[in-house]
Amino acid sequence: MATVTEHQSDFSTLPPLPGDVFTAPLRKPAHIGDDWLEPKQADYSSFEDAIWNDLFLRQMDVLPGHACSAFMAGLQKLHLGRGGVPEFGKLSEDLGVLTGWSVVPVPMLIPDHVFFWHLANRRFPAGNFIRSRDAFDYIQEPDVFHDVFGHVPMLTDPVYADYMQEYGRAGWKAMRYNRLKALGALYWYTVEFGLMLEAGEVRAYGAGILSGPAEAVFAVEAQSPNRIMLNVDRVMRTDYVISDLQPTYFVIESFEDLYRQTVERDFDRLYRSLPPAFTYANSAVIDVDNVVHTGTQEYLLRGGRGSGADPV
């Protein structure tokens, strides 16, 4: 990302999207502007606040010993356990003092280029709605619990906070090379499902792991998944699964390591050399891998989600 500013350096207003760049078509609700922001955060009912509280308590049962220390510290610093869905204004105030980030409400998944633009400005777009009791365990679209509980505590870490901003800037470059899927794989295997080493132990920092009950234990302890040290070139060539536990997790040494591996990378060169499709299956271990744990893939081989297979 060292030369990321070559094409796009001014993110003060939403840059125009070049006509030849493909992004997923999403229907914008009528009351939403080009920034895709809600005019204000939703008013949550007491039932919805209770859903937040129950989700919070459930995660606090499993996360100690599985989540990285930066995440646990972030929960404390932002007082996310004070009860009910956090108020974004207060959250942004606290976060602003720590790392200059804010949290802004959006109605749904937003277009890639708008998402990148908000990140480049240290604004984290968070779903305005919370899941229903019927969808307590699994949701298709990220809600306020996934976004705020899962992602926002990590933004209290100064190096991680810088990584997220650089990721947003890098998104504009990836679009121009038509390599959004490759950059998406990097997001997936770091921001959503990343693991790290702390005093020789594996811990989770990815929001997809930290905001759900099953994956925190599976990612950190189970025998099934591979755990491989992060290599950006390799990760950006690797397919990923969105509807089940991951067959492979990538592990960083530290947030400085993550920042260095990506921000100091020549992405122009990388994008020019990447094939148009993913090269590696999501369960593969390849010869260049620095392997922490070679998974048995037993969970996957038994059929994965919906098959009754234990996440072991």
Beta strands in the chain (DSSP E): 102-106, 123-127, 195-198, 201-204, 226-229, 248-252, 291-293
Q: Is 222 in the site for Fe ion (CB under 5 A)?
A: no
Cβ proximity of 230 and 252 under 8 Å: yes
Closest contact distance (angstroms) between CB of 144 and Fe ion is 11
- Using the contact rule CB under 5 A, the part of the chain among 137-145, 173-181, 257-265, 272-280 near Fe ion is 137-145
Contact track, Fe ion, 6-45, x by CB under 5 A = ----------------------------------------
Angle at 244 between CA 240 and CA 246, to 5 degrees: 50
Cβ proximity of 245 and 305 under 8 Å: yes
Cβ proximity of 177 and 22 under 8 Å: no
Q: Is 207 in the site for Fe ion (CB under 5 A)?
A: yes
Restricting to residues 140-159, name those near Fe ion by CB under 5 A.
142
127 or 225: CB nearest Fe ion: 127
Closest contact distance (angstroms) between CB of 269 and Fe ion is 28
- The order of strands in the sheet holding 201-204 is 201-204, 195-198, 248-252, 226-229, 291-293
142 or 247: CB nearest Fe ion: 142
Closest contact distance (angstroms) between CB of 191 and Fe ion is 7
Q: Is 209 in the site for Fe ion (CB under 5 A)?
A: no
> Pairing mode, if any, of strands 195-198 and 201-204?
antiparallel
Closest contact distance (angstroms) between CB of 142 and Fe ion is 5
Cβ proximity of 284 and 232 under 8 Å: no
- Using the contact rule CB under 5 A, the part of the chain among 9-17, 95-103, 163-171, 206-214 near Fe ion is 206-214
**Which parts of this chain interact with Fe ion (CB under 5 A)?**
142, 207
